[in-house]
Structure 1
Amino acid sequence: MKKIITWLKSSNRGRHIVGGVLIGLGADDTYCALYAGAGVAGALELKDKLYGGKWDWVDFGCTMAGVVVGRLIRVALTGR
């Protein structure tokens, strides 16, 4: 469990997942969720790169995984 928590804390991966879930919950359809999530994830990674960091595909994937989870929750709750 400590390894998972340490992994989530590195590079703010937990925040990427939570942000993705919020995007997925707020989107009206799946296309909108994935499109917005990819745009936000890309912008976050571009910001990191422009400020001297590296592009992190794991962070990008965490954001997109959060989008999928958020969208699935919304579909389960509302049926659409």
Structure 2
Amino acid sequence: MSSQTEQNTTPATQQYGSHHYVLTLDMPGRIAGTWHGTVTPGPTSTRNDMFLWLRERIRAENPEFTGANVVFFSLEPNRL
């Protein structure tokens, strides 16, 4: 039995990114924050690549979160 997967990219996902992410970081007893948005991974990017990239990008813009614990991470296709 063979299976075919069709990827359907709507104008909304092209405009906003192919994937939606949510990342929550916590510095226990000090500060916590949640970031969300859309991103389009590169053709060879893995989920781990995107996690590391997002975490570093957030840390670079918010140095107070250096060494923070990851409380939540989600990366899903940006479609319903």
TM over 0.5: no
Greater helix content: 1
TM superposition score normalised by structure 2: 0.35
Greater strand content: 2
Larger Rg: 2
TM superposition score normalised by structure 1: 0.35
